[in-house]
Amino acid sequence: MRTWSSFDAVLFDVDGTLIDSNGAHATAWCRALREHGIAVDLDDVRHLIGMGSDKLLDRLAAVREDSNRARVFTRRKKEIFGTLLRELRPTPGARALVEALRAHGITLVIATSADDQEMDALLAQAGLDDLFPRRTSSDDAEHSKPDPDIVEAALRKAGTDPSRTVMIGDTPYDIEAARRAGIDCIALRCGGHWSEASLRGAIAVYDHPAELLDALR
């Protein structure tokens, strides 16, 4: 892997990368859909966490993002997820990694498929909201991951050259979005549920932020 001196900026995914929230998202989607008569398997939902809710609903229930049903499902999912949020914890070493990167003068930008409200709540729950003045969410993009829009918006906020920028994420959707935006991606396994083969597009793979930080020391 390239050394940190090769990078001027790091773009961070949030769910599964900085906070252990993917399971809660999957549970919330399952409950919301089942309340409306749509039975879905939890494992099937888990493997879609990381892409935007628009794409997830299309895959799970053939529901268009601009439909009233999509708005109803999404609103209910957010309500359920809100009840689970307070139980979530940061991934191992998340704050230590972010603090170390800041200490090296590296620009940090959030690049998440969550909307602004959910992004802010997740960062607060993870105890990281004070470390990310630059943030990019689905509210800043027309299309969600794995389309590159969110990563491209984060790259503009970073103001750095793509060749000197890297993304840190936990899903194949992060890797694909980064690739399509012209930047490398480091993958973390702490989001769960992904095989080595599915993460092979990353330039390096680590278990969690703490292991990545150890590799940099």
From first to last of its 217 residues, what are the pLDDT tens digits of the chain? Answer: 667 788 999 999 999 999 999 999 999 999 999 999 999 999 999 999 998 888 888 888 877 766 788 889 999 999 999 999 999 999 999 999 999 999 999 999 999 999 999 999 999 999 999 999 999 999 999 888 999 999 999 999 999 999 999 999 999 999 999 999 999 999 999 998 788 899 999 999 999 999 999 998 7
Report the alpha-carbon distance of residue 183 to residue 92 in Å, rounded. Answer: 25
This model's pTM is above 0.75 = yes
| Domains in the chain with CATH codes | 4-20+89-216 (3.40.50.1000), 22-86 (1.10.150)
The 184-188 sheet, strands edge to edge: 135-136, 107-111, 9-12, 165-169, 184-188, 204-206
* DSSP-assigned letter for residue 91: P
CB half-sphere exposure, 186, CA atoms < 13 A: 24
Report the alpha-carbon distance of residue 128 to residue 57 in Å, rounded. Answer: 29
Nearest to 186 by CA among 103, 195, 200: 200
